[in-house]
Amino acid sequence: MNGTAKKLFLVILLIIISVVMVACGGENDITENTTAGQDVGNTQQSNQPAEDTGQANYTGESTEITGIPSTIAAGSASSFAILPNNSLWAWGNNVRGRLGDGTTTNRNAPVHILDNVRSVSTAYDYTMAIRTDGALWAWGSNWAGRLGDGTTEDRLTPIWLMDNVAAVSSGVGHTIAIKTDGSVWGWGSNMGGHLGNGTNESSNTPTRSLMENAIAVATGSNHSAALDVNGVLWTWGTNDLGQLGNGTTEGSNIPIRIMDGVIALDAGGDHTAAITADGSLWVWGNNNYGQIGDGTNENRHIPVRIMENVIAVSVGGGGASMGRGHTFATTADGVLWGWGSNRGGQIGDGTTESRSTPVRIMEDVVVVSAGTAHSMAIRADGSLWVWGSNIAGRIGDGTTENRYSPVQTMDSVMLP
């Protein structure tokens, strides 16, 4: 790894810590001397639900939230990338208009979608993008009202939804966004309470969650997670496989406090991951393909410590019913590690063998995005690499041939 790449990693790590650890003081409520793969157990008060209403409590000063942009996104069968000029490009499956190019034609090479984009999130068959002015735009399938425009009508091109958005995450049937004032908003399916507003009623327009002062958000198939300005991680929604991480399998339609001292998080399918201030990676939830990374296939209902010196994490999968679930972690030396389901080659180790412990994939990685059966990564030089299933051309190399190891598809993608 060259000197430039090392400097870039340090800058990204410092940005994450400075933004997230506003009031954490670099501390976390994880017990000392915990080895990799060992359950956390009850750690001080980190697994206790929020008092009374379950609303996330906040003790710091208010501040404008800007969010850390996501410049690549791997979905169920499509891919998105933002170039250095803030233009958004897409390729892969285009059923129900998820690419946003005005058609439903699959694309095996990148096509231009939208300009002035700073962050993108995609899921099963719809997409969300935040533009440089903070406006949120949506397109694709509108099942259960997950586009949030007050209808259930599919949109083949981007439509404006709301302003002053700092971050957004697309789930399978629901969407969660953070506004610049730290308020959390959700829309779409809510049968498992994954909008976090204290009800189980779905909504085709944005509804305010009980979560406040959030700075990062992630969504799985039917659960949600958010990080507040104090570094506290909160989860809500379906919990049948332990994906909330509170030691039970009981769902919640209000945010539950899970752990402190967190600087980054992600969720996908039915499992969740978090990085604490000391660089430890913790994972929990569904483990049917080894996506927890602890060497077993046992579901974990509380966070399990997996790796050290981690600066980025991405969780992929469409849920247990889709037979998917994999995880990536980037360590401080720029090495990308992957594990979990590998049926489409989405781990990128040259095989289709699922892995229950981390395996080394590639070096000089600064950003990674795990989809359902394919994955994407940006290297320190800005080049984009993609691998896994290539049905509908989601790799973007002009073919539909599966790729079991990373292949370069673009020369220069925007770094966060």
Quick one: pLDDT band at residue 89, thresholds 50, 70, 90? Answer: very high
- List the end-to-end C-alpha distance of the chain, in Å, as a whole number: 19
In this prediction, residue 17 carries a pLDDT of: 40
Instruction: Determine the pLDDT at residue 318.
Output: 67
Whether residue 281 is contained in a domain is answered as yes
Tokens describing residue 312: 């980025």
- On average, the pLDDT of the chain sits at 87
Domain of 354, CATH number, reads 2.130.10.30
Closest to 291 (Cα-Cα) out of 259, 265, 269, 263: 269
Average pLDDT of the segment spanning 320-345: 88
Q: What are the tens digits of pLDDT across the range 285-301? A: 999 999 999 999 999 99
Q: Which two tokens stand for residue 87?
A: 């233009």
Q: In this structure, is residue 196 part of a structural domain?
A: yes
Number of domains in the chain: 1
What is the percentage of the chain residues whose pLDDT exceeds 70? 83
More confident residue, 251 or 17: 251
Residues 385-390: contacts with CB within 8 Å, 24+ apart? 385/409, 386/74, 386/79, 387/345, 387/346, 387/348, 388/344, 388/345, 388/346, 388/348, 389/77, 389/344, 389/345, 389/346, 390/108
Q: What is the pLDDT of residue 1?
A: 52
How large is the C-alpha radius of gyration of the chain? 19
Residue 14 clears pLDDT 50, i.e. is over it: no
Tokens of 147: 């586009």
Residue 296 maps to a domain? yes
- Residue 415 placed within a domain: no
Q: Is the dihedral of CA 273, 278, 279, 280 positive or negative?
A: negative
d(CA 90, CA 83): 11
Confidence of residue 65 (pLDDT cuts 50, 70, 90): confident
Does 51 have pLDDT greater than 70? no
Which is higher by pLDDT, 86 or 56? 86
Could you tell me what percent of the chain has a pLDDT over 90?
Answer: 81
> Tokens at residue 133, please?
């002015």
Residue 38 has pLDDT above 70, yes or no: no
More confident residue, 38 or 361: 361
Q: What is the DSSP letter of 194?
A: T
| Residues 118 and 82: beta-carbon distance below 8 Å | yes
Task: Give the tens place of pLDDT for each residue, 264-289.
Answer: 999 999 999 999 999 999 999 999 99
pLDDT band at 67 (very low <50, low <70, confident <90, very high): confident
Percentage helix, strand, coil for the chain under 3-state DSSP, each rounded to 5: 5, 40, 50
Report pLDDT digits (tens) over 92-133: 999 999 999 999 999 999 999 999 999 999 988 999 999 999
Top-confidence residue, 363 or 48 = 363
407 C-beta neighbours (distance < 10 Å), count: 17
Q: What are phi and psi of 201, to 5 degrees?
A: -95, 125
* Pairing assessment for the beta strands 262-268 and 326-331 based on DSSP bridges: unpaired
pLDDT of 26 > 90? The answer is: no
When mean pLDDT is compared across 72-81, 88-97, 316-325, 362-371, the lowest value belongs to 316-325
Region 7-19: mean pLDDT is: 43
pLDDT per residue as tens digits for the range 161-178:
999 999 999 999 999 999
Q: Is residue 310 part of a domain?
A: yes
pLDDT for 64? 77
| pLDDT score of 66 | 73
What's the 3-state SS for 272-290? EEEEECCCCEEEEECCCCC
> What six digits make up the tokens of 329?
């972690």
**Domain interval for residue 132:** 3-26+64-410
Residue 42 lies inside a defined structural domain of this protein: no
> Over 50: is that where the pLDDT of 217 sits?
yes
By the 8 A CB rule, do 77 and 372 touch?
yes
Whether residue 40 lies inside any domain: the answer is no
Transcribe 142-188 into DSSP letters.
-GGGTT-SSS---EEEEEEEESSEEEEEE-SSEEEEEETTS-EEEEE
Q: Is residue 51 part of a domain?
A: no
Question: 8 falls in which pLDDT band (50, 70, 90)?
Answer: very low
For residue 369, pLDDT over 50 is answered with yes
How does residue 216 score in pLDDT terms, banded at 50, 70 and 90? very high
- Both tokens assigned to 352: 């289709």
Distance in angstroms (rounded) separating the CA atoms of residues 349 and 338: 8
